[in-house]
Amino acid sequence: SSEVLEAIENVIQGVLQSLAEKKAPVLTVANRTDWRNIEFKDSVGLQMIPRCTTKQIRSDCPQSAKRFALMLKILSMIYKMVQSNTYATKRDIYYSDTLLFGSQSVVDQIINDISCMLKIPRRSLHVLSTTKGFVAGNLSYTEEDGTKVNCTCSATVFTVPSNVQGIKNLTSHARFILIVEKDATFQRLLDDDFFNKVSPCIMITGRGIPDLNTRLLVRKLWDSFQIPIFTLMDADPHGVEIMCVYKYGSVSMSFEAHHLTVPSIKWLGLLPSDLERLNICKDALIPFTKQDENKLASIQKRPYIACQPLWRKELEIMAASKLKAEIQVLTLLSSDYLSRVYLPNKLQFGGWL
């Protein structure tokens, strides 16, 4: 906490120094969304280069003066929370003054900019994300406040903890971890008692694009147990994008890649080649939209695809057919085909990339 307080004090010192010299104060933040500031390392994923381009949030410029003021406001809130050892969610911060902030996304972006500017992980700033991810299966742990969570006993779903850093005493006999893209598929596998039938496993879903806590939990489980991690996604560009976020990280959070990515994650399904192999009727597939085409073309150009020849081949199959499929398409073969046939066969015979 002293490191966080000192980092904030240094920023404020700079502002006061500028004012003393009768200059307009400026905050300098990295360009987090610029691909030119990103490098790919297969052991880490997407990470920000040390000497990246920056942008200035000026206090004397009409376009950025409000943002400058909001950054100082949130810095002051973080400072008080760290001092008093209290926490707030990003939502709490937004609702403390909705008229001032205008929208939740403004608060989210500023907090990420502050984290990047101070070079301090967001959870050390005492700002928690609102969690939307779920976890189930062969896992028990103790939350920071002493609450014992045991996912192993039942088919109950537990929300991913809002302070992943604080959980301890993680115990599991799981043989693997399965990341499921969608809530509906996750619930279906729970109903089929999948995580007990095949072999003990841990199941996680970020319910679409994963939030920070879900990504932190996947990384924590990997660090704790070092067991294989598989992804089960729709066979479409959106599903591939989500899988890449878990495996290689995202451009906007590349400054925190070391805490968030798990480059050893495997693509279990649904593979574009599976659709042909299983004789899925083409009428059951969904034609690409223009947005799908653009998304896929963008993914194919990314640096990590170059070192994944088998992934590249699957993306080429998808691009050539211009068709996509949801995992639910497997119910055409039988209602429990996913949990009874597809996943057990894949896991037993190594059908992953």
Q: Does residue 112 sit in the same domain as residue 6?
A: yes
Confidence of residue 154 (pLDDT cuts 50, 70, 90): low
> Could you confirm whether 95 is annotated as catalytic?
yes
Q: How many domains does the chain have?
A: 2
Q: Does residue 221 sit in the same domain as residue 340?
A: yes
Q: How far apart are CA 195 and CA 184, in angstroms?
A: 16
Query: DSSP for 210-271?
Result: --HHHHHHHHHHHHHH---EEEE--BSHHHHHHHHHHHH--STTGGGHHHH--TT-EEEE--
Is the distance from CB of 327 to CB of 185 less than 8 angstroms?
yes
What does pLDDT average to over the chain?
Answer: 87
- Encoded amino acid at 148, one letter: K
Q: Does residue 87 sit in the same domain as residue 203?
A: no
Cα–Cα nearest to 117, from 248, 261, 34, 10? 10
Confidence of residue 265 (pLDDT cuts 50, 70, 90): very high
Domain boundary among 128, 155, 182: 128
Host domain of residue 261: 134-349
Q: Does residue 279 sit in the same domain as residue 165?
A: yes
- Over the stretch 63-90, which tens digit does the pLDDT of each residue have? 888 989 999 999 999 999 999 988 888 8
Cα–Cα nearest to 178, from 238, 233, 225? 233
Domain boundary among 128, 161, 180: 128
CATH of the domain at 239: 3.40.1360.10
Q: Does residue 312 sit in the same domain as residue 285?
A: yes
CATH of the domain at 39: 1.10.10.10
Catalytic residue among 95, 141, 246, 337: 95
pTM over 0.85: no
| Total residue count of the chain as it appears in this document | 353
Q: Quick check: 256 pLDDT over 80?
A: no
Q: Does residue 217 sit in the same domain as residue 238?
A: yes
Q: Does residue 213 sit in the same domain as residue 309?
A: yes
Q: How far apart are CA 339 and CA 192, in angstroms?
A: 7
